[in-house]
A and B are shown apart, each in its own frame.
Chain A
Amino acid sequence: MRIVPLLLLICAWQAAASFGVLPKTLLPSFFDVAAQLGAHVRSGEIFGHTAASFARAGAGCGIAVAAGVALGLIMARMRAVERAMEPILLMIYPVPKPAMIPLFMIWLGIGDFSKVAVIALACLLPVVVATFNGARSVDDMLIWSARARGTSEARLLWRVVLPSALPQIAAGVRTAIAIAIIVLVSSEFISAEKGLGYLIFSYGGVGADDAMLAIVIWLAALGYFLDRGYLAGLRRVMRWHAFAH
Chain B
Amino acid sequence: MPLLTRFLPIAVILLLWEAVSRTGYVNPNVFPPVSEILLRWVQIFWDGRIYPPLWDTMWRALAGLTAAIAVGVPLGLLMGRVRAAEWFFEPLFSFGFPLPKIALIPLYVHWFGLFSLSKVMLIFTDCLFPIVLFTYHGARGLSSVYLWSAQSRGTGRVRMFWRVVLPLSLASIYDGVQVAVVVAVLVAVVTEMVSGGGGLGELMIRAYRFGDVRTAFAALLTVSLAGYILYKLAQWLRGRLLFWHVAEV
Residues of A within 8 A of B (CB): 2-6, 8-9, 26, 83-88, 91, 94-103, 105-107, 178, 181-182, 184-186, 189-190, 197, 200-201, 203-205, 207, 209, 212-213, 216, 219-220, 223-224, 227
Instruction: Contact check, A223 vs B10: say whether CB atoms are below 8 A apart.
Output: no
What are 10 contact pairs spanning A and B, CB under 8 A?
A5-B89, A97-B186, A99-B193, A99-B224, A103-B204, A186-B102, A189-B194, A201-B106, A209-B110, A219-B100
Contact with A along B218-242 (1 / 0, CB 8 A): 0110011101100100000000000
Q: How many inter-chain residue pairs (CB < 8 Å) link A and B?
A: 134
- In the complex, B160 has a CB within 8 A of chain A: no
Instruction: Contact check, A224 vs B220: say whether CB atoms are below 8 A apart.
Output: no
Instruction: Contact check, B91 vs A106: say whether CB atoms are below 8 A apart.
Output: no
- A interface, over-half SS: helix
Nearest A residue to B186 via CB reads A96
Nearest B residue to A227 via CB reads B98
Instruction: Contact check, A212 vs B106: say whether CB atoms are below 8 A apart.
Output: yes
Nearest A residue to B97 via CB reads A178
A183 shortest CB reach to chain B, Å: 9
Q: Which residues of A contact B100 (CB under 8 A)?
A: 181-182, 184-185, 219-220, 223
Instruction: Contact check, A99 vs B201: say whether CB atoms are below 8 A apart.
Output: yes
- The stretch from B48-56, B141-149, B208-216 touching chain A is B208-216
Q: Which of A87, A95, A205 is B6 in contact with, Cβ under 8 Å?
A: A87
Q: Which residues of B contact A105 (CB under 8 A)?
A: 208
Instruction: Contact check, B9 vs A83: say whether CB atoms are below 8 A apart.
Output: yes
Known: A5-B89, A91-B10, A186-B102. A204 touches B110 (CB 8 A): yes
A140 shortest CB reach to chain B, Å: 26
A198 shortest CB reach to chain B, Å: 11
Task: State the CA gap A205–B109 with chains docked (Å).
Answer: 10
A206 shortest CB reach to chain B, Å: 10
- B interface, over-half SS: helix
Q: Which residues of A contact B98 (CB under 8 A)?
A: 178, 223-224, 227
Instruction: Contact check, B87 vs A5: say whether CB atoms are below 8 A apart.
Output: yes
Known: A96-B223, A204-B109. A102 touches B31 (CB 8 A): no
Q: Which of B81-100 contact A (CB under 8 A)?
A: 87-92, 95, 98-100
Instruction: Contact check, A3 vs B91: say whether CB atoms are below 8 A apart.
Output: yes
Instruction: Contact check, B190 vs A95: say whether CB atoms are below 8 A apart.
Output: no
A106 shortest CB reach to chain B, Å: 6
- In the complex, B30 has a CB within 8 A of chain A: yes
Known: A106-B208, A182-B102. A85 touches B231 (CB 8 A): no
- In the complex, B111 has a CB within 8 A of chain A: yes
Task: State the CA gap A12–B172 with chains docked (Å).
Answer: 32
Q: Which residues of A contact B190 (CB under 8 A)?
A: 98-99, 186, 189
- In the complex, B244 has a CB within 8 A of chain A: no
Instruction: Contact check, A98 vs B186: say whether CB atoms are below 8 A apart.
Output: yes
Q: Which of A84, A98, A178 is B9 in contact with, Cβ under 8 Å?
A: A84
- In the complex, B207 has a CB within 8 A of chain A: yes
Task: State the CA gap A185–B88 with chains docked (Å).
Answer: 29
Task: State the CA gap A75–B9 with chains docked (Å).
Answer: 14
- In the complex, B107 has a CB within 8 A of chain A: yes
Instruction: Contact check, B10 vs A87: say whether CB atoms are below 8 A apart.
Output: yes
Task: State the CA gap A182–B194 with chains docked (Å).
Answer: 14
- In the complex, B177 has a CB within 8 A of chain A: no
Q: Which residues of A contact B219 (CB under 8 A)?
A: 99
Q: Which of B95, B208, B220 is A6 in contact with, Cβ under 8 Å?
A: B95
Nearest A residue to B109 via CB reads A204
Instruction: Contact check, B30 vs A98: say whether CB atoms are below 8 A apart.
Output: no
Q: Which residues of A contact B102 (CB under 8 A)?
A: 182, 185-186, 189
Q: A96-B185, A99-B186, A99-B224 are in contact. List 12 more A-B contacts (CB 8 A).
A: A3-B91, A84-B9, A94-B231, A99-B201, A99-B220, A100-B220, A102-B193, A103-B208, A182-B102, A184-B100, A189-B194, A212-B106
